[in-house]
Amino acid sequence: MIKPIGSDTLKPLFVYDEIKHHELQKEAESLPSLLLNSAAAANAVMLGGGYFTPLNGYMNVADAISVAEKMQLTSGQFWPVPIFNRTHDISAIKDAKRIALLDPNEEGNPVIAIQDIEAIEEITDEQIDQICQKVYRTLDNEHPGVATFKSHGKYVISGPIQVLNFSYFQTDFPDTFRTAVEIRNEIQERGWKKVVAFQTRNPMHRAHEELCRMAHNALGTDGILIHMLLGKLKPGDIPAPVRDAAIRKMVEIYFPPNTVMIAGYGFDMLYAGPREAVLHATFRQNCGCDYFIIGRDHAGVGDYYGSFDAQKIFDTEVPKGALDIEIFRADHTAYSKKLKKVVMMRDVPDHTKEDFIILSGTKVRGMLANGEAPPPEFSRPEVAKILMEYYQNEVAK
C-alpha cells in the first residue's frame, strides 16, 4: 500500500491506549483550558485520525508562513496549508506549558485534546494577509475562507497535541466518519491493491457518478473511495446528513458490490481552491489511496479560481517528489444527447453546446425546491427524491 506523507507509517495523534487515555482525561480537569474555534477543533480531529501525518500538532508562525510561501515547513517537510490553533484571548493560558483544548462544537465543550505549548506568538495583520494571499489567492473578505481565517484571532499557540475524542463526527455520523487509520485497514480487509479517491462536499449527480466510474475503469483500480466532508460549510450548502443519504442511495443501486467505500472526514471546508486540492490529495495519500480525482473548480467558490487551477498547481507549485499519489485530471462532464451517456467534453470535440444536457446549480436548486425532479440524465431519480424532500422542507420553514 502507498506510504503516508513523510513517514513509513501513519501517525495518528489519538490516544488509543485506554489507561493513558483515562489518565489524560483526569489530568485535563486540572489544566488551564482554551476554547478552540471550529477550524482548530477540526484540525485536532484530522491530526487525531492520522489524516495530517506526519504533523504532531499545531504550527508556529514561521512554519505557517513557510508552508504558505513554498508548501514546506521550516524543516523542509512538505505540507500544503497552515495548521493553526489561533485565539483572541490568552489570559487563561499565557503562563501555561500544558493546556486542555475544549471543543466548541459539542454541548458542554468537552476536552478534545491536550496540547504542550512550545510558543505563544502574536501574528500580525500583514502576516495574516501574506498567508491569505498565498493560500486563498485573495484578500477579499467576501471569500468565505478568507473571512473565516481572518476571524480567528492574533495569538498563535503552537506545539504537539494528544487527541482524546473526535468531536461530534463519531456520534452524528457513526456509519460514515472514518479515520485514515480505519480507511487503510478497510482497504486491506477488502483486498484492494489500487484505490482512487473522490472528494465531495455536495450530493453526487450523474456526472460525478460517471466520473468515478471513468477513473475506476481508466486506472484499473480495485475500488473507489467516495470521501465526503462532514464539517462546517458556507450557508446554502446542503448539510452532511442529506448528502450522506443521497450518496449511499446512489452507490447502493448503481455500483457493483465491493467497488465503493463510502466514508467521511471531520474537517471544515476552506474553499481554498488549488491549495485545498493539494491538501485533499495529501490526506488521501495518508488514507492509502493511489489516485485522486480532480475536476473542474475543485474546492472553489465563486469566481476566485480558474476552472482547472486545481490541476495546474500540481505541475507548477507542488515541490517535486512531495506526493506519491497521482492525480486523475477530469474535464467538464455532461450528458451527451448524441451518445446517450455522460462524457468528458474534451473527449467529444464533434459536439456543440446543444448536444449536452447542462443545468446550472441555481436552476437545479429551483427545480428541487418546486418539487420538480431534474431530468434523469442529470440526476438519478432516487437521489433527486431525497434532495427534493430536503429543499421542500427548507422552503416550508
Count of other CB atoms within 10 angstroms of residue 138: 17
In a domain, 6, yes or no: no
- Provide, rounded to the nearest whole percent, the portion of the chain with pLDDT above 70: 98
In a domain, 215, yes or no: no
Q: What is the CATH number of the domain that holds 25?
A: 3.10.400.10
How far is it, in rounded angstroms, from Cα 213 to Cα 190? 18
Nearest residue to 45 (alpha-carbon basis) of 7, 81, 83? 83
pLDDT in tens, 45-96: 999 999 999 999 999 999 999 999 999 999 999 999 999 999 999 999 989 9
In a domain, 41, yes or no: yes
In a domain, 268, yes or no: no
In a domain, 236, yes or no: no
- The predicted structure's pLDDT at residue 195: 98
pLDDT in tens, 164-215: 999 999 999 999 999 999 999 999 999 999 999 999 988 888 889 999 999 9
* Alpha helices (runs of H) in the chain, residue ranges in sequence order: 18-28, 38-48, 61-70, 125-135, 144-150, 169-172, 180-190, 206-219, 240-254, 274-286, 309-316, 361-369, 381-396
Q: Compute and round to an integer the Cα radius of gyration of the chain.
A: 21
In a domain, 337, yes or no: no
Do 239 and 211 touch, CB atoms closer than 8 A?
A: no
Q: Which residues are catalytic?
A: 201-202
Q: For residue 395, name the pLDDT band (cuts at 50, 70, 90).
A: low
Residues spanned by the domain of 89? 18-170
pTM to 2 decimal places? 0.93
Total domains, the chain: 1
In a domain, 81, yes or no: yes
In a domain, 143, yes or no: yes
pLDDT in tens, 20-52: 999 999 999 999 999 999 999 999 999 999 999
